[in-house]
Amino acid sequence: MKFALKTLSLSILAFAFFLQCGADVPDRKGMFAVIHTDKGDLVVELFPEAAPKTVENFVKLSNDGFYDGIIFHRVIPQFMAQTGDPEGTGRGGPGYKFEDEISAKALGLHEQKAGETGYFNRQISQIVVDKLGITSQEEFNQRQNEVQREAQTLMEKSAEEILTMSGYSYNNDLPSVPGKKGTLGMANSGPNTNGSQFFINQVDTPHLNGLHTFFGQLEDKSFPVLNEIIAAGNGNSKIESIEIVDNRE
């Protein structure tokens, strides 16, 4: 009987240890994060090869408990859920910023014409305004013919050229992944302004390619949790903790 009790106790301890070491992660090699939320677990595969500094930053903040208790402050149905701001306002961060990790080549931006999709109209408009020295909406309206000529020329350039002209820079040695349903991306306020905030796509987001560093992918089984977080609305869900599981060996 004592032997049986001892065996049972060891089994319970082993099971508890198994849970602590990421029981919910897929049974394959890779680096994973289990984002424990008050709505359930979001299991994510991280991509250190595609975005090494971004993943390193995310892992460090997670292990330091930075994300514990932080809300999903911005959720948009049929778009994404954003979190990672300790202030909960969308303006907070870790106290530093770091550069983007994006390959325009891997995303096909070097071959895509900027005017093909309309995704980069905002950047094109700003480039035109700056080039023509336009300082008001009234002047913009008065010079529509010039604006249209300049914009048409820019639309023939590649998306990479337009985004580079807008201040973005690219590392074409990286195997970047595009914005798809379930990808994790760094939230930012422009080129090279990454910190702690990130978002998880509920749908494909091709219009964000070249603008945001994508560094992970949500597992299919976690989509119901993501959908619940988004359905709950702004500020009504939170991260409890994040567990990193490195199964690359």
Does any domain span residue 179? yes
Residue in 168, 202, 196 with CA at minimum distance from that of residue 183: 202
What are the pLDDT tens digits along the chain (249 aa)? 554 544 444 444 444 444 444 458 998 999 999 999 999 999 999 999 999 999 999 999 999 999 999 999 999 999 999 999 999 999 999 999 999 999 999 999 999 999 999 999 999 999 999 999 999 999 999 999 999 999 999 999 999 999 999 999 999 999 999 999 999 999 999 999 999 999 999 999 999 999 999 999 999 999 999 999 999 999 999 999 999 999 998
Judge whether 162 lies within some domain. no
Same domain flag for 85 and 187: yes
- Count CA atoms within 13 Å of residue 13 on its CB side: 6
* 233 and 138 in a common domain: no
- Asked whether residue 17 is assigned to any structural domain, the reply reads no
> For residue 20, is it within any domain?
no
232 lies in some domain: yes
Looking at residue 4, its pLDDT comes to 52
Full domain range(s) for residue 76: 28-107+172-247
68 and 183 housed in the same domain = yes
Lookup: tokens for 24: 């919910």
Q: Residue 77 and residue 83: Cα distance in Å, rounded?
A: 15
Q: Indicate if 204 and 102 belong to the same structural domain.
A: yes
Does residue 222 belong to any structural domain of this protein? yes
Domain presence at residue 10? no
Contacts of 20 (CB under 8 A, 6+ apart): none
The tally of domains found in the chain comes to: 2
